[in-house]
Amino acid sequence: MDFNLTKEQTMIRKMVRDFAEEVIKPRTIEIDTEAKFPLDIFEQMGELGLLGIPFPEEYGGSGGDTLSYAIAVEEIGRVCGSTGLSYAAAVSLGASPIYYFGTEEQKQKYLTPLAEGKALGSFGLTEPNAGSDAGGTKTTAVEDGDDFIINGEKCFITNASFAKTLIVTAVTGKNEKGRNIISAIIVPTDTEGVTITSNYDKMGVRGSDTAEIVLDNVRVPKSNLLGDPQKGFSQFLYTLDGGRISIAALGLGIAQASLDKALQYAKERKQFGKSISNFQAIQFKLADIAMEVELSRNMVYKAAWLKDNNQPFTKESAYAKLFATETAFRAANQAIQIHGGYGYMREYEVERYLRDAKLLEIGEGTSEVQRLVIARQLGC
């Protein structure tokens, strides 16, 4: 087995790390405290080609692979969870479904501006009464001539206030077993009847935009239907499988940042006449975090590799998402502990890692849902 990154993947890591350190890092505290979406940073990320890493050049992308994209999310997550979450959602949820399932015309029209970083996309699956149970979707899309008329409500949608396009899931009919057929439809945000509000006051990832969407008699052409209408549910499960790799990568980034800060602080802080890194209780915490970061990285990269090599990756992306995000939370918690009282203060940043990491155990399938996915893959 070859665990080395390719030349291209190594270059992407360096480029994104430099950008994250120079451009994002000086802004991370402000992004969190002011809960302000850093649109200008996304414009720069677009210019660098980061929003198009996993898409072919013919659609405005950079022609990279999933692993390169995961590395980019990891590096951004290392400095800013908010920017990392909005980046992962824009690529994995806002743009990827169009690449996976879109017609040539949809790709040219809707994917290209997203991949070029000239616009942001959003994915609206969650509803007030349909979260983990996405099959309980109440939003409807009723055919009317050449159009669909969509009515419903979506909640907790990342980037929606800044998005040019939404992909919304809606019930379009019933199958032969009488079950709802859920399809995905592209809705430009400037369509009449679309109302997007962003009033959530969040615990973490505060600079990532999270919005509610109301769809009131929204008329879009039937040609905006994404993929096979009969396979809408399995299509968004595939989308989520891919998205989980990026949320796992974000967890990995936060876990790595927690380790870096805790190690540095443990070497500097002196108590009882020596650095606290000399105490075995502190060493064991650092050793555990370091081991879990390494395991998370192996899991994230393996899931990405499987996807890039057209092999099944549902189970491995759930493993990676579950383990890396829970590692991020544990690592941030221990980083606070190692900082003592200072860790509880905002300026030391490790408390932000904990608040940001918590979201990763909830979004794109909670930890419980990941365990369900894994159990199903085991044949339960």
Binding to ligand FAD (CB under 6 A) within 52-111 occurs at 89, 93
Q: Indicate which single residue of 37, 42, 123, 329 sits in contact with ligand FAD (rule: CB under 6 A).
A: 123
Cα–Cα distance for residue pair 272/379, rounded to 1 Å: 54
Please identify, using beta-carbon distances, which residue of 52 and 124 lies nearer to ligand FAD. 124
Cα–Cα distance for residue pair 57/95, rounded to 1 Å: 14
Helix residue spans in 147-198 (DSSP H): none
- Contact status: 124 vs ligand FAD (CB under 6 A): yes
- Contact status: 277 vs ligand FAD (CB under 6 A): no
- Contact status: 139 vs ligand FAD (CB under 6 A): no
Cα–Cα distance for residue pair 306/241, rounded to 1 Å: 12
Least distance in Å: CB of 242 to ligand FAD? 14
Contact region for ligand FAD (CB under 6 A) — 16-24, 105-113, 117-125, 329-337?
Answer: 117-125
Contact 46, 118 (CB under 8 A): yes
Least distance in Å: CB of 371 to ligand FAD? 8
Cα–Cα distance for residue pair 354/369, rounded to 1 Å: 21
Please identify, using beta-carbon distances, which residue of 65 and 364 lies nearer to ligand FAD. 364
Report DSSP letters for 55-79, one per residue.
Answer: S-GGGT-----HHHHHHHHHHHHHH
Contact region for ligand FAD (CB under 6 A) — 76-84, 122-130, 144-152, 282-290?
Answer: 122-130
- Contact status: 374 vs ligand FAD (CB under 6 A): no
The 10 Å Cβ neighbour count of residue 367 is 17
Q: How many residues bind ligand FAD (CB under 6 A)?
A: 23
Cα–Cα distance for residue pair 108/114, rounded to 1 Å: 10
Contact 252, 297 (CB under 8 A): yes
From 57, 292, 364, 368, the catalytic residue:
364
Least distance in Å: CB of 203 to ligand FAD? 9
Contact region for ligand FAD (CB under 6 A) — 7-15, 95-103, 125-133, 324-332?
Answer: 125-133
Helix residue spans in 48-201 (DSSP H): 66-79, 81-88, 96-101, 104-106, 112-115
Residues 6+ apart with CB under 8 A from 162: 37, 39, 42, 120, 209
Least distance in Å: CB of 333 to ligand FAD? 19
Please identify, using beta-carbon distances, which residue of 6 and 33 lies nearer to ligand FAD. 33
- Which candidate, 206, 301, 197, places its Cα nearest to that of 248? 301
Q: How far is CA 66 from CA 5, 30, 99, 241, 319, in A?
A: 12, 30, 13, 12, 17
Please identify, using beta-carbon distances, which residue of 165 and 277 lies nearer to ligand FAD. 165
Binding to ligand FAD (CB under 6 A) within 339-368 occurs at 359, 362-366, 368
Binding to ligand FAD (CB under 6 A) within 201-230 occurs at 202, 205, 210
Q: Indicate which single residue of 158, 183, 224, 258 sits in contact with ligand FAD (rule: CB under 6 A).
A: 158
Tell me if residue 30 is catalytic: no
- Contact status: 156 vs ligand FAD (CB under 6 A): yes
Cα–Cα distance for residue pair 340/345, rounded to 1 Å: 10
What's the sign of the alpha-carbon dihedral 200, 321, 353, 253?
negative
Please identify, using beta-carbon distances, which residue of 160 and 286 lies nearer to ligand FAD. 160
Contacts with ligand FAD, residue ranges (CB under 6 A): 89, 93, 123-126, 131-132, 156-158, 202, 205, 210, 359, 362-366, 368-369, 372
Catalytic residue list: 364
